[in-house]
Structure 1
Amino acid sequence: MIHNSEGNGAPLIRGGRWLLAGWSLFLLAGFALTTFVSPDPRGFGTHQQFGLPPCTLRLLTGVSCPSCGATTSFAHFVRGEWPSAIRANGAAFVLACLCAVQIPWSWMSIAKQQLWLITRPERTLIITLVCLTSLFVLQWMFWMLTGQN
Structure 2
Amino acid sequence: MSQLPSGNGVPLVRGGRWLLAGWSLFLLAGFALATSVSPDPRGFGTHQQFGLPPCTLRMLAGVPCPSCGATTSFAHFVRGEWPSAIRANGAAFALACVCLVQIPWSWVCIAKGRLWSITRPERTLIITLFTLGSLFILQWMVWLTFGRN
TM-score, normalization by structure 2: 0.95
- Structure 1 residue 6 displacement after superposition: 7.5
In the alignment, structure 1 residue 16 sits paired with structure 2 residue 55: no
Aligned length: 145
Look up the equivalent residue of 2:82 and give its one-letter code: W
* Percent sequence identity over aligned pairs: 82
- Structure 1 residue 104 displacement after superposition: 0.0
- Larger relative strand fraction: 2
Query: Which runs of at least 4 in structure 1 moved beyond 4 Å after TM superposition?
Result: none
Counterpart in 2 of 1:87?
Answer: 87
Q: Secondary structure at the match of 2:28?
A: helix
In 2: Cα distance, 1:81 partner to 1:147 partner: 23
In 2: Cα distance, 1:10 partner to 1:55 partner: 41
Cα distance per residue 1:72-111 (max 9 Å; x no partner): 0000000000000000000000000000000000000000
Q: Secondary structure at the match of 2:138?
A: helix
Q: Secondary structure at the match of 1:115?
A: strand
Counterpart in 1 of 2:32?
Answer: 32
In 2: Cα distance, 1:6 partner to 1:72 partner: 43
- Structure 1 residue 147 displacement after superposition: 1.4
Look up the equivalent residue of 2:95 and give its one-letter code: L
Counterpart in 2 of 1:137?
Answer: 137
In 1: Cα distance, 2:148 partner to 2:16 partner: 43
- Structure 1 residue 148 displacement after superposition: 1.7
In 2: Cα distance, 1:115 partner to 1:148 partner: 39
Cα distance per residue 1:38-97 (max 9 Å; x no partner): 000000000000001110000001100000000000000000000000000000000000
CA RMSD of aligned residues (A): 1.1
Counterpart in 2 of 1:77?
Answer: 77
